[in-house]
Structure 1
């Protein structure tokens, strides 16, 4: 924990240096209602800048198994595609696993409501985050480049064919910089995500 001289008060917020990040972060007090903030802060502190990029996911594996939303998800990967320059969406990244679990936690703790919300995921990659958002009730459109769609569709079909899907999931092609199809922007999505996972 930071000493008094290491802490800096900005308004009602106490900022401290923690972990290997080196910058100031918000100090969360005991009993503060935002468990999501604490989860993300702890994740950041535990990941020193010199650590390996993926602690949860083996990118050499053909499949990732993960429990989410009361079921076991199986995400197929294509590690051989990583040798192609610019291809990142063929494997899972820790950021996708963290975001998927964050969404599940946020909905379970009633901090976030996805039921019936229109969600567009940009750069869906293997599709874990979009699948979880759909299981949590979102009307999700998962998008990626044309050469990534086959793997993405397989993962969506394999993980959302069960009867306990509260939302829906559709896979669409989207090349960044091209004009998007109307169904992606009208009506405006309630949530959008543009992190490659």
Structure 2
């Protein structure tokens, strides 16, 4: 009997195309764990090797190319900065790719509405997630330390100037433990996100 129930459940669960991946996957629906399940689904699509960190990105390259929201994004990196202790925001990490693709899928599938929502991203690094959120219609403020802002702003300028944005994205400095700029907290953000907050 268990096999019949499993087959019936599979038949009821819809198959959908996942964002720009274009691969058909079984949609995970409902329950408190659906967001976590969706994230793991996105992670599993690329089938990263468990022992290999950063299966999506090469931190040795100067650029990461990724399709999202019908656009080809080109994210510049500064791998030479990794040699400086405490500098992690100059390269992409898998968690940023997973969060960006999760947001895209959640909007595509109707699980999340980002159009017109204010988002503050903490520790934005190279800016991929903020750019994707802006493409999805959010008013995004990406934040990082002062020495990361030049690369962050360059990536925003490179990727957002030639597309028709449904939202917007701006970059500002945020040092944890200090009072944030009023623009970050007034009005209160609808979402505060961070993919790899160190």
TM-score by length of 2: 0.79
**Residues 88 and 196, structure 1, Cα contact 8 Å, conserved in 2:** no
Question: Is 2:50 the counterpart of 1:54?
Answer: no
The superposition leaves residues 10-43 of structure 1 with CA deviations (integer Å, 9 ceiling, x where unpaired) of xxxxxxxxxxxxxxxxxxx642525755432343
**Residues 62 and 79, structure 2, Cα contact 8 Å, conserved in 1:** yes
Q: RMSD across aligned C-alpha pairs, in angstroms?
A: 2.1
Q: Where in structure 2 are the equivalents of 1:14-163 lying within 5 Å?
A: 30=10, 31=13, 32-34=28-30, 37-42=36-41, 43=43, 51-163=51-163
Match of 1:75, SS state, is: strand
Q: After the TM superposition, which of the residue ranges 29-38 and 151-160 deviates more from structure 2?
A: 29-38
Give the superposition deviation at 1:194: 3.0
Give the direction of change, closer, same or farther, for the CA distance of 1:194–1:36 in structure 2 (3 Å limit). Answer: closer
> 1 or 2, which has the higher helix percentage?
2
TM-score by length of 1: 0.79
The superposition leaves residues 131-163 of structure 1 with CA deviations (integer Å, 9 ceiling, x where unpaired) of 000000000000000000000000000011124
**Residues 125 and 144, structure 1, Cα contact 8 Å, conserved in 2:** yes
**Residues 99 and 195, structure 2, Cα contact 8 Å, conserved in 1:** no
User: Counterparts of 2:119 and 2:157 in 1: how far apart (Å)?
Assistant: 18
User: Counterparts of 1:140 and 1:182 in 2: how far apart (Å)?
Assistant: 14
User: Counterparts of 1:150 and 1:41 in 2: how far apart (Å)?
Assistant: 32
**Residues 89 and 196, structure 1, Cα contact 8 Å, conserved in 2:** no
Give the superposition deviation at 1:99: 0.6
In structure 1, stretches of 5+ residues that fail to align are 4-28
| Structure 1 segments (4+ residues) deviating >3 Å | 34-39, 44-48
The superposition leaves residues 68-127 of structure 1 with CA deviations (integer Å, 9 ceiling, x where unpaired) of 010100000000000011111000000000110111111011110010000000100000
User: Counterparts of 1:55 and 1:76 in 2: how far apart (Å)?
Assistant: 18
